[in-house]
Amino acid sequence: MKAVLCRKYGEPDDLEVGEIDPPALTPDGVRVQVDAAALNFPDILMVQGKYQYKPDFPFSPGMECVGRVTEVGADVPDIQPGQRVIAHPWVGCFAEQVVAPRQVVFPVPDHVGDAAAAGFGLTYGTVYHALIDRGGLQPGETLLVYGAAGGVGLAAVEMGKLLGATVIAAAGSPEKLAVCESYGADHLVDYSKEPVRERVKDLTGGRGADVIFDPVGGDMTDTTMRCINWDGRLLIVGFAAGRIAELPVNMILIKGCQVVGVAYQRFSRLQPAQSRANMAELMGWWAAGKLKPHVSMTFPLDKAVDAMKAIVNRKSTGQVVVTT
């Protein structure tokens, strides 16, 4: 089968497209003929050797996909060949076939397009876990989202509105903020031009945001303790900017706030029943038209490197998808 291959850690340009044997079926595995796979920022970290999970070489990046089931393992009674599914096995989806453990495979209706389906699981699964399980976001609270036009950022804007929060979207250009506005953001902050701390204080009557969703890190994290409300929750989601900030613990005390880690992969491995329950609720919201995944770019498998460069160069909004 054709696959994008990482033979050593490096940059997206070091990836190859080649032919390899299809992966072996496991007893709890579901073989999926991949139609489309989503690209997430952690795919790039995995190729660079900076992600916490380090698969053996050669591996194909691609954490999640949509496609048809062609074969199931002996211990999989409830998924049949021919079913259309989304799957997030965390690696291997930039290939014509992938074998995913049953617990991360979910049937999807035929009317949902490939591009929208490919990136649904990991993005919305992360945001649900962040805002609800970890952040306890309540209706009427103020949610501040950094990197708000990115993959998880835009889903956080959308889900924040669905949960009844007032959403402040912070991103790096007017074009990106226009996308956030179209997903319901109440207030827009362009952090390439405006001081985030002052704007958030102005927008919240001096109190600061109740929940801050931070997938960017670096300078953005540095500002959070100055614009978080009493009893607020800072959700540490990622470090797209590269630098891992250090927080002044005295400010955590003074603000009476919590700094909360969000690790969706570990959560779904360590708490599979809760993770599947979350996904069931997300699928219900999706079927009811309450969630609309935004895909800004699609690339063929041969051009997966260009897809990665679009993310690295901050060109995309929402999700980026690779089709096989």
Ligand X SMILES: NC(=O)c1ccc[n+]([C@@H]2O[C@H](COP(=O)([O-])OP(=O)(O)OC[C@H]3O[C@@H](n4cnc5c(N)ncnc54)[C@H](OP(=O)(O)O)[C@@H]3O)[C@@H](O)[C@H]2O)c1
Sorted by sequence, the CB contacts under 8 Å of residue 51 that are 6+ apart come out as: 42, 45
Tell me if 150 contacts ligand X by CB under 6 A. yes
Tell me if 311 contacts ligand X by CB under 6 A. yes
Is the CB of 72 or the CB of 154 nearer to ligand X? 154
Helix (H) or strand (E) holding 258: strand 258-261
Is the CB of 71 or the CB of 186 nearer to ligand X? 186
Residue of the chain from 69, 149, 169, 257 that contacts ligand X (CB under 6 A): 149
Backbone angles phi, psi at 10, to 5 degrees: 180, -145
Is the CB of 26 or the CB of 296 nearer to ligand X? 296
Tell me if 171 contacts ligand X by CB under 6 A. yes
Task: Write out the DSSP string of 209-235.
Answer: EEEEEESS-THHHHHHTTSEEEEEEEE
Tell me if 264 contacts ligand X by CB under 6 A. yes
Residue of the chain from 23, 147, 160, 232 that contacts ligand X (CB under 6 A): 147
Is the CB of 82 or the CB of 242 nearer to ligand X? 242
Nearest C-alpha neighbor of 151 from the set 120, 105, 175: 120
Min dist CB 26 to ligand X, Å, is 24
- What is the per-residue binding string for ligand X in 29-68, x denoting contact by CB under 6 A? -----------xxx--x-----------------------
- What angle (nearest 5°) sits at the alpha carbon of residue 8, between those of residues 7 and 10? 125
Residues 214-253 that bind ligand X (CB under 6 A): 215-216, 237-242
**19-35 as b/e, with b when 16 or more CB fall inside 10 Å?**
eeebbebbebbbbbbbb
Question: What is the rounded CA–CA span in Å between residue 44 and residue 102?
Answer: 25
Question: What is the rounded CA–CA span in Å between residue 209 and residue 69?
Answer: 44
Q: Which stretch binds ligand X (CB under 6 A): 12-20, 148-156, 160-168, 180-188?
A: 148-156
Min dist CB 113 to ligand X, Å, is 19
* DSSP code at position 303: G
Which residues here bind ligand X, judged by CB under 6 A? 40-42, 45, 126, 147, 149-153, 171-172, 176, 215-216, 237-242, 262-264, 311, 314, 316
